[in-house]
Structure 1
């Protein structure tokens, strides 16, 4: 996968992670006004992996494309 696609995928994963976190936070604050919903650890790790591949800090894993497709959907386009 080329660098620009990895970067776009990492951005899309972070966007999805923030969206899910916001939805979870909305449910939490209904119960506790001071509650907090933490980000999805798996999505955060996947986004970090994309960033590491982009900056050359780690090689691209063989299954990275499959894991991104599982999260973003097969029809995702950068």
Structure 2
């Protein structure tokens, strides 16, 4: 019969670990927010009332994702 390890506590500390300083996380958080904002723009607004590109290529590329996220387009 195989036995599994059993721990009383769900958190098992590891010796010598430290937390990540905010100064190191902040640039990545800002970058992630920028990418998320650009993604949201293309899915929600591009080829609608305001568009940066001519034609319907961007609209057709994100069309199903637009409806999946609840944005109307037609």
State TM-score, norm by structure 2: 0.34
Which has the greater radius of gyration?
2
Structure 1 or 2: more helix by fraction = 1
- RCO (CA 8 Å, sep 6+): is it higher in 1 or 2? 1
State TM-score, norm by structure 1: 0.32
